Structure 1
Amino acid sequence: MTQPAFPAESTTLLLDGPAGALEVAIDLPEPADARPLLAVVCHPLPTEGGTMHNKVVTMVARALRELGATTVRFNFRGTGGSAGAFDHGKGEREDLRAVVEWARAGHPGHALWLAGFSFGAYVSLSAAAALRPDALISIAPPVAGRGWEFDDIEIPEVPWLVVQGDADEIVDAQSVYDWVDSLPRKPQLVRMVDTSHFFHRKLIDLRGAIQHEVKAWLPPA
């Protein structure tokens, strides 16, 4: 199918993706706040109920939109209105690439930030070298015990934020801290005390942490 134009207002639409239709939600900032910035946010594991409507994903997008970004969320293949079937990260990277290429074509002068939560953090980081974003945001990256290989990921030298809850019951927090310590170029790390994987009762704190850490990276309005 013919790709739709990038919308001039917030909406949900279907793109032609590598495995069929991809369901995409675009949310525009308030005109007075708008900056030349696209932020694409990736959702957690589809096989465990993750979608673009996940509350952490929507809060990450809200935090960035309030800073002036145009945010793009999408459902990986086989999720929601997206065609195809789960592909253990490989196909999902291709989904992300298709969304990024479409968004960049609609706003060629905009900076691109990639964000992801849990499995979405893995997908966005593993695609980063090829997509060459201007910044990265990783929320609860599943670096150990979840079947995703982080050791060989090439992370571009761009501003990078990692946010991890100390009481995460799904992603082992200490494994994340050890991984960050092992990296030759370390990201900005925010450790959130008494915070679970899905940031129960901590979503507003997550929003504040993101906005505080990334404000210095914003392109001029």
Structure 2
Amino acid sequence: MPEVIINGPEGRLEGRYHPSKQENAPIALILHADPQFNGNMNSKICYYLYHSFVRRGFSVLRFNFRGVGRSEGVYDSGIGELSDAAAALDWLHTVNRDSPQVWIAGFSFGAWIGMQLLMRRPEISGFLSVSPPANLYDFSFLAPCPSSGLITQGTDDTVVTEHSVQRLVDKLQAQKGITIDYDKIEGASHFYEDHHVPLVKSVDKYLTMRLGY
């Protein structure tokens, strides 16, 4: 799990990168939760998302947004963080020029950033969105959503309301040409304490269905 330094828009971005042993492997980018509330690339949910892709032979990158850990810069209310994510994806492409698939996975704030990146990068073929903060941020830019993906939400989440996520899912599921899977994790809080196992099972089941392995 080599440490990498990426040239971001405001200086260096600190990351952890797993290069696949397979030639021309697919790639995945993992985005962490809100930096204002201690979100970082080493959170358990980001770690588990990272390894769900590693187990399937992906080359995977997770990194700290600006101002987090050893990443330079300061929090920028999502605008700069979207630029950070784009720079990280560019770096992934640079070291994996012939990847057949590109996936993005985000948790909470990272899910919001990830889905904005999805709209800007047509090469992204699938996404995982864990507890997208639909009651805190505007997701109306998903018109239409360009790729199929999985959205998960804890039923006991007091940060992101289940109702707001359900409304987002209903809106996306009404769109043609994509398929949005929605999995509610019973009893899970926003950080999925004591519910990491069912979250990982949900993610792994979805990836197996989409990838065939």
State if a TM-score over 0.5 links the two structures: yes
What's the counterpart of residue 115 of structure 1?
A: 105
Superposed, 1:36-47 pairs within 5 Å as 36-47=25-36
Is the contact made by 1:159 and 1:217 (CA closer than 8 Å) also made in structure 2? no
1:59-118 superposed Cα distances (whole Å, 9 cap, x missing partner): 111122112222110000011010000011111110011110111111122111011000
Q: Structure 2-normalised TM-score?
A: 0.91
Specify which of 151, 156, 163 is matched with residue 174 of structure 1.
163
Aligned-residue RMSD, C-alpha = 1.8
Kindly state the Cα deviation for residue 154 of structure 1 after the two structures are TM-superposed: 4.2
Residues 150, 156 of structure 1: alpha-carbon distance in 2 compared, 3 angstrom cutoff: closer
Quick check: 2:28–2:102 contact (8 Å CA) kept in 1? yes
CA contact (8 A) 1:165 1:197 kept: yes
Q: 1:155 to 1:114 in 2, by over 3 A?
A: farther
Mapping for residues 148-159 of structure 1, pairs under 5 Å: 148-154=137-143, 156-159=145-148
* 174, 199, 204: which one aligns with 2:197: 204
Question: Contact 1:36/1:219 (CA < 8 Å) preserved in 2?
Answer: no
Q: Match for residue 88 of structure 1? A: 77
How many equivalent pairs are there? Answer: 207
1:6-25 CA-partner distances (Å, limit 9, x unpaired): xxxx3012111101010011
Residue 153 (structure 1) shift = 3.1
Pick the aligned partner of 1:65 from 48, 54, 69: 54
* Residue 156 of structure 1: how far off its partner (Å): 4.2
**Other structure's SS at 2:114 match:** helix
Paired residues of 1:41 and 1:116 also in contact (CA < 8 A): yes
Any unmatched runs of 5+ in structure 1?
A: 1-9
- How has the CA–CA distance of structure 1 residues 50 and 152 changed in structure 2, closer, same or farther, with 3 Å as cutoff? same
Identical-residue share of aligned pairs (%): 27
Stretches of structure 2 lacking an aligned partner (at least 5 in a row): none
For 1:116 and 1:215, the matched residues in 2 are separated by 18
